[in-house]
Each structure stands twice: as C-alpha cells, then as structure tokens.
Structure 1
Amino acid sequence: MIRRLAAMAMVGLCLSACERQAEAPPPKPPPQAKAPVSTLDYHPAESPTLETVRQRGWVACGVHPGLPGFAFPDARGVWRGFDVDVCRAVAAATLGDAGKVRFIPIPAQDRFSALQKGQIDLLSRNTSWTYARDAGLGLDFAAVTYYDGQGFLAPRSLGVASAEELSGARICVQAGTASEANLVEWFNLRGLRFRPVVAATEDEARRLYEEEACDVFSADISALAASRSVLSNPGAHVILPNVISKEPLGPVVRQTDPAWTDIVRWTVHATVLAEELGLTSRTVEAARETASDPQTRRLLGVEGELGPLLGLSDDWAFQVIRQVGAYHEIFRRDVGADSALNLDRGLNALWSAPKPGLMYAPPMR
C-alpha cells in the first residue's frame, strides 16, 4: 500500500514538472542601444594670446608690405588680399568682428623676429613652411592656406620655353627668402650656371626685372603672377612651366601658445569645411536656421558646444564664414577668377573636387 502511494506521488510530481516545462517563458525585452561613452576628458583651452587680443580689442597681424592678391592697400587704403582675409577670419573667430585687425607691413627679413618679439599675434605673409623654420625658430605653422612652388617669370621675347634653357642667365631674386637657396640647389644639381641679381625687396626685384637688369625673375609662382599683374604690359611676360620647389604657405604663430595655434588652425579649417558643405557667406545664415546635417550644425555652432574647447563662442565658425567667406570665395576674389591674378585652383582645389587638390580639413566633431 505504501509503495502504491509513493508511486502515485512520483507520477504527480512528474506530470506537474512537465506542465511547467510546457509553459513558454515570457519573452525578454530587447537590449536597448546605448550611446557610446567617450573616455576622453575635454577641457577648455587657455590661450594667453587670445586673452591679450581680447583685452586689446584687435588682432595684430603681420603682412606683406604690398603683394597684389595677397596683401596690399587699395586706393582707399583698405587692406585686401588672400593673407589679409586669413587675418580677418581670425578676428571674426576670436572677437566676432572681422574688422578688428591692425595690419602691420613687415619686410621678409624681419617677419620671424617680429613674431618672436611679440610685436604681432600672427604672421600671414606668403611664408613657406619648412623644417628649419618650424623646428628652429620657436614658431608653429598653423595650417597650409596655399600650396605653391617656385618658378620663373620671363619676357615672351626671350623665347625660352623651359628653365632648363636658362644656363648663364641673370636671375633676379629677393634676398632672405627660400627662393635664393632654391635657385642654387636647382642649378647646381643640373650642372647649369646662372648669375644671381639679388634685391633687398620684392618690389626692387620686380623693378630690376622690368628694367632688364636681369633676364628672368624667380619667386613663388603666386608672387610671380602678382608681379606680372602690375607690369606695364602683363601679356608680354610668361611664367615658365617648371616648378622647382614645394612651397606650402600659411600663417605662423609662436610655439609657446599651442591653444592659439589651434585657434588659427581651426579658423583655416572652418573655411575649407564650409566649402565642402556647400556653404557661402550668402547662404550661411539660412543654413544655421534650417540645416539638419549634423556636420553643418556642429560647424555653425547649433549643436555640439565645440567652441568653448578653444575658448571661443559657439558661433565662432559661423562668424568666420558669414563675414569672410568659405575657402572658395576667398580664393576666387583674391587670387582666382575674380582677381587680376586669375590663378587656377590646381593643388588648392578640395580633395573631393572633380580635379582633386590637396585642400583637406579634419572633421568637426
């Protein structure tokens, strides 16, 4: 009897367990996607130069005394040009007003010492980024604004088609520039002779060339185009096809203030990013109100709160674009199709252009 009762109990337990197993467990809710958490600890930058600029109320910018297309006072005494617009962009970024700049003309021989001595906040003067200048002067090149190279300006009447035909020629060149050393290296490497006619200033080199005190004039190609534009008969002169050096030009700052270097660097990048995103000085206000693209919204300060990382306002890049323009606007009016120089974009085209160039900015995020 006891064995029968025990067996019945075991059967009951088994049936109960089977019923529990037959019941499907309730479904678990799907895991919620979590936004990635950054492990970086961001801190607002502190720049002594920015503080000085704000207390003073204007940016002190060293420029060329007079190079058409890059830095020159017009008939009304207003400074214009590509390098001038870089200065204005920095003023717009830091002070909210592109007009708060004082332009200080500096000869080539004094440009670095003026920066080292604190006479200027920024040097924007068609200056080539080289190893020795970057490593040995206590200075930083914040960005490349114009990719250039050294060339030769010659009279059409000379009948020269290549710099390889210039053996024995008298060549005008400015003292204290990279162009002077580049000539020696290039001619020596090819076993060619030349006679340097060294001038103290670019204006003097151009004058000597126009007076036929030399056969050709050598400088950065952008400078040669500027010089040709003010000759009495520009069409009588040709820039030879040879490019004998790499000359990446851009603004220079003191190495002792890395936060200021970042401000100048990202001011340049903002103009390039604006072109990439299809923004212009005419459309940027509407874009700030209507843009849904996260990249555009971050650039224009609508979201992201990135400005304070440089000690700037949220709308700093918006002010740069609105008051000075995107990179293609600056290029076109100062040295491109709307200027007397009429230079092609070439290497200065965007990396994503149909004919790609070298202009590329890091992402704004």
Structure 2
Amino acid sequence: MIANKTFRRAIQSAAAAAFLATTMLSGLAHAGPTLDKINQRGTIKVGVGTTPGFFAPDSDGKWQGFFIDFGRALSIAVFGTPDKVEFTSSSPQQRLPALQSGEFDILLSGVTVTTTRAFKLGFHFGPTVFYDGQGILVRKDLGVTKAADLDGATIGAQSGTTGELNVADFFRKTGKTFTPVTIEDTGQFIDALESGRVDAITQDSSDLVGKRTQLKKPDDYVLLPERLSKEPLAPAIAGGDDRWLELVNWTVNATIQAEEWGITSANVDEFLKSEDPAIQRFLGVDPSFANDIGLDPKWAYTIIKTVGNYGEIFDRHLKPLGWDRGYNSLWTDGGLLYSPPFR
C-alpha cells in the first residue's frame, strides 16, 4: 500500500513538472510580436549599412562583415542554422523609420545608443558590440594634425546621423568655425572629399576607416586622432518583445563569454570535455540550463563553432583594416567588453 502511494505521488509530481515545463516553454515561444513574425516567416530581416569590414556584399553578392556575423549568430539562436537571415542595406535616413514600421526585425547597421532613440522612438538596444567615436578624415595636404586646426574648414557630415550635432558641438566648444555641408547619400562622401568640395568628412571612425580604403589614393588622407563623441554601436529593435530582446542580448554575450573562456571555433569540441559546470551549461553538455530558458542546448556551441567568438569575428573582419581592439577588448585585457554570467 505504501509503495503504491509513493508510486502515485511520483507520477503526480512528474506530471506536474511536465505541465510546468510545457507552460514555461509555451510562454517563452510566444512572448512578443516580432519573434512570432520571425518564426512564421522563417527568416530574420536585418537592416545593415555598406561599410567595408562591417557590412558589405562580396563579389558573389554574399554579405560579409563584423555585424553580419552577429546576424548569422542570431539566426543560429532562433533557427539553429546561420542561413535564415536576410540582410538589406538601408541609409541612415531610412533605417530608423524602417525599424519602426516593421520592415526590419533588427538593425545591425552601426546604430548609436542614445536617450532620444530609446525614449522618443521607443527602441530597445542589445549590448554594445563596438565602442566607437566620431572622427574626422582630412586631406593630408592641409597639414593639420588635430581637429582644432580645421578652423574655417568645410566639413561634410551625413544627414540623419548624430554626426551633424556632434561636429557642431565640437567647434562651438573650441571657439572655432567651420562650414557644414550636409551629404545625404553615403556614396557621395568619397566624391565630395576627392573632388575638393569639402576639406574633410566626419562620421563614426568605423565608417571613416572603411571609406579611406575606398579612396583612389588612401595615403593622401589621414584620420585625425580626436574622437568628437562617444558612439556605442549596438543592435536596435522595436519595443514590445522582451523575448526577442533577450535573444539578442545573450547571443552577443555568448561570443564575448566564449572569448573570455578561450573557447574558439577551432577548439570548441575539446571544451565539450571540460569538467567546469559553467562551461558544461554554456555548451549544452548539461542541457538543463538551456531547457529551462527554452533554447536548444547546443545554441551557444553552434554559434561559436560556426561564427567564432568575439575576438575571432573582430580579427576576421576588422584587423585587416588596421583596427586595434582598444576599448573593444575584454574587460580582463583593459577593455569594456563584459558578459553577464551564464547561469
């Protein structure tokens, strides 16, 4: 009799646990409109720019770049494969309205986190994936070595970006003057500089490094050392879908955490043998953690195996352009990259 009662209690407990798990997973799967649309559509729509190293189609038309790899990592987190993602180039003037209207599920186009975009436009931002700052690219024959030397210069800035305000603020604070030239089409930046229409152009330094490589004579131009602003670049999504936001957050964090542990695309299989319980949870050797949050146990493993950790992504796309890690180093190396714990 006692044995039967014990058996019945065990069955009841198991049934209750199964019901709770099903309820939790159901709630996670239908947590918001964006993720539901992504699942129904079968692809993630991503807005990007056109800056070499960060996002640009190759000779075969396939998108490559630093931000592109984070889009593929998101596809893995949602679908288990890197290929269910659609990249579309969008100008700074078009990208924010397109995100608001639902044309994109996410912007991976070098969007700066600002108060106005968070409160007024209602955007949510994932972790900063690139710590940037606004710079100035000038003709070397001007003989200037710092931004303050550009007193009276003609400077091109792209409309619809934070760059217009930042450069105006800089010259106002330094007591210098300049003539602003607003340029709408990012492709006209190079023409304006090479033709002499402007003495310099200003944008995020990440954009300027890429544009310098596109000039006919790159060595005739120099990026000045000052940074006129803080430009933390992060994934941007529309508000109203907490589950989608957390997928973005933890996809980025996974690449950072993997680098901190020394897990790379080349050695990730060796780490499957690790006895560290945190690494076992991270790589899905212990599936209970991923099951609890409603993800495939191998989601982080597949991201690292496919696109690599943050350092690999950086070195693959940005190091060839001359970028140093700088602020984009791990916190353990004096940088600003820091992942919350996976537990």
TM-score by structure 1 length?
0.84
Matched, 1:52 2:52: no
CA contact 1:61–1:123 (8 Å) conserved in 2: yes
**Partner amino acid for 2:327?**
L
Matched, 1:146 2:130: yes
SS of the residue 1:188 aligns to: helix
Runs of 4+ in 1 over 4 A off after TM superposition: 41-44
SS of the residue 1:154 aligns to: strand
User: 5+ residue gaps in structure 1?
Assistant: 1-40
**1:38 corresponds to:** none
User: 5+ residue gaps in structure 2?
Assistant: 1-19
CA contact 1:198–1:205 (8 Å) conserved in 2: no
* 1:166/1:256 CA distance change after superposition, 3 Å: same
CA contact 1:81–1:334 (8 Å) conserved in 2: yes
**2:335 corresponds to:** 357
* Equivalent residue runs for 1:280-295 within 5 Å: 280-288=264-272, 290-295=273-278
**Partner amino acid for 1:235?**
D
**Partner amino acid for 2:262?**
G
SS of the residue 1:83 aligns to: helix
Task: Map Cα deviations across residues 19-57 of structure 1 (whole Å, 9 max, x no partner).
Answer: xxxxxxxxxxxxxxxxxxxxxx99553433333222222
CA contact 2:35–2:241 (8 Å) conserved in 1: no
**2:8 corresponds to:** none
CA contact 1:307–1:314 (8 Å) conserved in 2: yes
Matched, 1:344 2:324: yes
Higher helix content, 1 or 2? 2
Task: Map Cα deviations across residues 201-244 of structure 1 (whole Å, 9 max, x no partner).
Answer: 22112221121110011111111100001111212211111111
Decide which of 61, 65, 76 is 2:60's aligned counterpart. 76
Task: Map Cα deviations across residues 241-287 of structure 1 (whole Å, 9 max, x no partner).
Answer: 11110000010011100110000010000000000000111111232
SS of the residue 2:187 aligns to: helix
* Equivalent residue runs for 1:246-265 within 5 Å: 246-265=230-249
**Partner amino acid for 1:319?**
T
What is the aligned length? 318
**Partner amino acid for 2:198?**
C
CA distance in 2, matches of 1:105, 1:309: 36
Decide which of 292, 316, 324 is 1:333's aligned counterpart. 316
* 1:124/1:310 CA distance change after superposition, 3 Å: farther
Decide which of 148, 162, 166 is 1:164's aligned counterpart. 148
**1:240 corresponds to:** 224
CA contact 2:281–2:290 (8 Å) conserved in 1: no
**Partner amino acid for 2:144?**
V
CA distance in 2, matches of 1:206, 1:133: 28
CA distance in 2, matches of 1:103, 1:309: 31
* Equivalent residue runs for 1:269-280 within 5 Å: 269-280=253-264
Task: Map Cα deviations across residues 75-131 of structure 1 (whole Å, 9 max, x no partner).
Answer: 110101111111111001111111111111111111111111111111100110011
**Partner amino acid for 2:46?**
C
**1:321 corresponds to:** 304
Over the aligned positions, Cα root-mean-square deviation in angstroms equals 1.5
CA contact 1:146–1:348 (8 Å) conserved in 2: yes
CA contact 1:259–1:310 (8 Å) conserved in 2: no
CA distance in 1, matches of 2:230, 2:51: 20
Structure whose alpha-carbon radius of gyration is higher: 1
SS of the residue 1:143 aligns to: coil
Aligned identity (percent) is 39
CA distance in 2, matches of 1:140, 1:322: 28
SS of the residue 2:160 aligns to: coil
Task: Map Cα deviations across residues 134-157 of structure 1 (whole Å, 9 max, x no partner).
Answer: 111111011100000001111222
Residue 189 of structure 1 deviates from its aligned partner by 1.4
TM-score by structure 2 length?
0.89
CA distance in 1, matches of 2:220, 2:278: 48
CA distance in 2, matches of 1:140, 1:68: 26
* 1:78/1:295 CA distance change after superposition, 3 Å: same
CA distance in 2, matches of 1:95, 1:144: 23
SS of the residue 1:219 aligns to: strand
* 1:308/1:110 CA distance change after superposition, 3 Å: farther
CA distance in 2, matches of 1:359, 1:132: 24
CA distance in 2, matches of 1:210, 1:54: 46
**2:17 corresponds to:** none
Matched, 1:121 2:111: no
